[in-house]
Amino acid sequence: MRYATVTLTWRGRRLTPIDELFGHSDAVRVESIRYVNPVSDDDRYVELLEVRGDLERVRSLLAESSDALEFAVTGSNGRGVAYVQWRSADLVDELLSILREHEIVVDWPMRFVDADGARGLEITAIGTSRAIQRAAADLPDGIGVELERLGEYEPGSDPEATLTERQRELFDVAVREGYYQVPRETTHRDLAELLDLAPSTVGEHLQHIEAKLATAYATSMR
């Protein structure tokens, strides 16, 4: 059994109506899609989204949207999960159809990333080598794909799976803010202000995170 982690990008099309809705707000950000699935046969989807920012703004945007048929938002301290039902969109229809046709399993969640100045979605697909290759070849026009990782799938084989939820949060912020760019685009102090932590605490956490990731990666290469 193989896995492939890829980043998909799209221009001139919308992935889902809800992603587009949040994409125009500076107050909230969709971090990942925890799950998405069609609802019966009436062109609706149900989706669980991990959101960050002003949760009241999340609720008001969904309430104002004609695309959100039903929704509920839960969470605190600027982190939450939104349950949303919405009408289908062409792009997500095509992508999920490809996964079903080639019997690909998704290792949830799908994480939103910034890719070359565009909105991207990082997906880990699990299946046979042939199935993964055929699925990649069937991606619709206008979808960019970049391979991030490829290998034999084992539960917990992803180095980031060794991190705690709090460590994952800090690591995601550090990557997004450019801490690992060369030259670095942010500092421990900047990250500390974003996360309401002491700079020394950020430094200590990053050391533990980097040690875990390095160990897990070295083990996976043996």
Q: Which of 106, 124, 209 is nearest to 160 (CA)?
A: 209
Q: What is the arithmetic mean of pLDDT over 210-214?
A: 79
Quick one: pLDDT band at residue 113, thresholds 50, 70, 90?
confident
Closest CA to 39 of 75, 81, 102, 92: 92
pLDDT at residue 41, as a whole number: 62
Q: 156 Cβ partners below 8 Å, 6+ apart? A: 162
Residue type present at position 150: L
Residue 222 confidence (pLDDT) above 70: no
* Burial 165-195, CB ≥16 within 10 A → b, else e: eebebbbbbbeebebeeeeeebebebbbeeb
The C-alpha torsion from 91 through 95 and 98 to 99, rounded to 10°, is -160
The pLDDT, as a whole number, for residue 160 is 64
CA distance 16 to 67: 10
State the CATH class of domain 159-220: mainly alpha
Beta strands (DSSP E) in 18-166 are 28-39, 44-53, 68-76, 79-87, 105-106, 110-115, 118-127, 143-152
pLDDT of residue 207: 87
Provide the residue ranges of all domains of the chain, joining segments of one domain with +.
2-152, 159-220
Phi-psi region of 6 (alpha: psi -120 to 50; beta: other; left: phi over 0): beta
The string of pLDDT tens digits covering residues 147-203 is: 888 888 776 556 666 677 778 888 888 888 888 887 888 899 999 888 888 888 888
Do residues 184 and 178 lie in contact, with contact meaning Cβ atoms separated by under 8 Å? yes
* pLDDT value of residue 155: 63
Q: State the Cα angle at 39 between 34 and 44, rounded to 5°.
A: 90
* pLDDT tens readout for residues 10-66: 877 778 878 778 876 778 888 889 888 887 666 788 899 988 889 999 999 999 998
Establish how many alpha carbons lie within 13 A of residue 142's alpha carbon, considering only the half-sphere containing its beta carbon.
Answer: 10
Q: Which two tokens stand for residue 15?
A: 């992935």
pLDDT in tens, 56-111: 999 999 999 988 999 999 988 888 899 999 887 778 888 888 999 999 999 888 88
pTM: 0.68
